[in-house]
Amino acid sequence: MAIRMCDECGIRPAVYYETNIINGVMTERYLCEECKKKYGMQKANMPDIFDSIFAALGAPFGMHVNAPKPENKVCPTCGCTAESYMKTGFLGCPDCYKTFEPLILSSVAKIQKDTKHTGRSPEKTLSPEEAKYNELLRKREEAVAVEDFQLAAKINEEMKKLKGGAK
């Protein structure tokens, strides 16, 4: 995939994209940093986080010129290759996620700080203590169902400790 050059100067790579719709006619323009300043194009009100995301997205879509060649892995199920993932950003089947896991994780790491969610959670999610308590409750019910009352008693003690520590 070739790097798009600035529509104004034709010298530098375009880093901004502008779409205008006037009287139902859409025009598109790609500009470099210098021409953006020169022509006064303003960025949309996107937070800076989107800038880093879009910059990092170049990696999985083959836009980094100096990027190392990926291992020539092939998915055993669908035949998708690491090279095709790097060019398109698309995988062929669920098994591709395991086959190309290191490649996917490196792409994700370039886009965000971590490979695990560390941001805010929806308001109605359980705290870790509540989730643990619910898991113990489920295990206790399973133990009682199979008449393993000793295990159920141990789980009950854990639940009491957890409730006592939460107060």
Average pLDDT over residues 121-148: 86
* CA 83 – CA 60 distance, rounded (Å): 10
Lowest mean pLDDT segment, chosen from 51-65, 70-84, 123-137, 150-164: 51-65
Average pLDDT over residues 129-155: 92
Tell me, yes or no, whether 53 lies in a domain: no
pLDDT the model gives residue 51: 54
CB 70 within 8 A of CB 83: yes
Same-domain pairing of 74 and 100: yes
Q: Which residue has the higher pLDDT, 72 or 94?
A: 94
CB 55 within 8 A of CB 64: no
Same-domain pairing of 134 and 103: no
Instruction: Examine the pLDDT at 165 and tell me if it is beyond 80.
Output: no
**Residue 53 vs residues 17, 112, 122, 164: alpha-carbon distances, Å:** 15, 7, 22, 44
Same-domain pairing of 106 and 136: no
Lowest mean pLDDT segment, chosen from 73-77, 84-88, 147-151, 156-160: 84-88
* CA 105 – CA 112 distance, rounded (Å): 10
* The total number of structural domains that make up the chain: 2
Radius of gyration, alpha carbons of the chain: 26
CB atoms within 10 A of CB 139: 16
Summarize pLDDT for 7-46 with one digit per residue, the tens.
989 898 888 888 877 888 888 888 888 888 887 554 444 4
C-alpha angle 134-137-143 in degrees, rounded to nearest 5: 145
Amino acid at the residue 10:
G
Q: What is the pTM of this model?
A: 0.33
pLDDT the model gives residue 63: 45
Tell me, yes or no, whether 5 lies in a domain: no
First to last CA, the chain: 58
Instruction: Examine the pLDDT at 135 and tell me if it is beyond 50.
Output: yes
Tell me, yes or no, whether 4 lies in a domain: no
Instruction: Examine the pLDDT at 47 and tell me if it is beyond 60.
Output: no
Which residue's entry shows tokens 């008449």?
147
Tell me, yes or no, whether 144 lies in a domain: yes
The residue segments making up the domain with residue 98 are 67-111
Summarize pLDDT for 75-128 with one digit per residue, the tens.
998 888 888 888 888 888 888 889 988 888 887 777 776 666 666 766 677 778
Beta bridge partners of 25: 22
Tell me, yes or no, whether 62 lies in a domain: no
Amino acid at the residue 151:
L
pLDDT the model gives residue 118: 67
Tell me, yes or no, whether 6 lies in a domain: no
